[in-house]
Amino acid sequence: MNIIKFWKPYGVLTQFTDGEGRPTLGAYIDQPGVYAAGRLDMDSEGLLLLTDDTRLKTRLTDPRFEHPRTYWVQVERIPDEAALEQLRRGVQLKDGWTKAAVVERLDAPPDVPERVPPIRFRKNVPDCWISLTLTEGRNRQVRRMTAVVGHPTLRLVRWAIGPITLTGLAPGAWQSLTADEQQALWQSVMKRG
């Protein structure tokens, strides 16, 4: 079984080929037979797990298993406790209410490299980073949730999928999971559902 973790850079599609010539995983990963267990939008960055194990892929992506994913989100303005509480309880989106989430405002920006290209900077509009852990994965869910509470997403970095984090990676880099990481991931996915 092959499981790798990859720091998907901004502007890269979560697929190996693209008829329009846009950047894809194929420019970074040369491991045959592995496929992404989930997606990250082109304008999102961060952790992507790839595997050749269909059972693991199902456990990580099927909503009934409610596997946690943690995002670091740079938002416009400073959310107050009421906005954070809305995100924690769940918000109404066009496709229904979101499930409860674990949300906290970060005291300092996370230690991530500057994005290329950088986010738009507005001198008179402050920004803030929050940590948001979801157990569902709707299309552009984090961006839609922060917009509903009045704090549009400026930058989105997926930091963790269950117990696996970006630790030890740089944007565009990948590595195979260690035996301990594989064991922790399997334990995490098997205790749900």
- Cα separation of 53 and 186, whole Å? 11
Give the span between the Cα atoms of 142 and 11, in whole angstroms. 17
Cβ proximity of 69 and 55 under 8 Å:
no
The amino acid occupying position 84 is L
Report the alpha-carbon distance of residue 130 to residue 183 in Å, rounded.
29
What angle (nearest 5°) sits at the alpha carbon of residue 155, between those of residues 152 and 159? 120
Helix and strand numbers (H, E) in the chain are 4, 11
The one catalytic residue in 18, 41, 53, 62 is 41
Active site includes 53?
no
Residues acting as catalytic residues: 41
